[in-house]
């Protein structure tokens, strides 16, 4: 069975509260709050300004806000992240930028 994935493409600008249980990829712009028992991906063209609570998050684009991740947070090359993070695991690739604080323990 293939995992469900929803994509908010480059031309989408969304403001509000996003709640989901599968994988969502944001390639457009989002502002608000995100609650998920799934996985969040912010694509290379994605710009997110939000407070996020999710299982895991992979950031390739720009993110500003706070993150609570039950599992893993990943900053990929060329990502720009500003905010505070509380997670179990953190992976930071060379070339990513992070300004904020990080607490690592069981969430």
Count of CB atoms situated within 10 Å of the CB of 45: 14
- pLDDT value at position 2? 53
The domain ranges of the chain are 5-104
Counted residue by residue, the chain has a size of 107
Q: From its phi and psi, is residue 10 left (phi > 0), alpha (psi between -120 and 50) or beta? A: alpha
pLDDT band at 45 (very low <50, low <70, confident <90, very high): very high
Query: Has residue 59 got a pLDDT over 50?
Result: yes
């Amino acid at each position: 069975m293939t995992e469900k994935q929803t994509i908010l493409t480059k031309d989408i600008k969304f403001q509000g509260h996003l709640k989901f249980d599968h994988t969502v990829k944001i390639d457009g712009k989002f502002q608000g709050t995100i609650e998920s028992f799934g996985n969040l991906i912010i694509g290379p063209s994605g710009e997110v300004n939000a407070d996020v609570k999710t299982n895991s998050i992979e950031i390739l684009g720009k993110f500003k806000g706070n993150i609570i991740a039950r599992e893993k947070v990943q900053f990929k090359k060329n990502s720009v992240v500003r905010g505070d993070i509380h997670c179990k695991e953190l992976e930071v690739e060379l070339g990513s930028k992070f300004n904020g604080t990080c607490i690592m323990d069981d969430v």
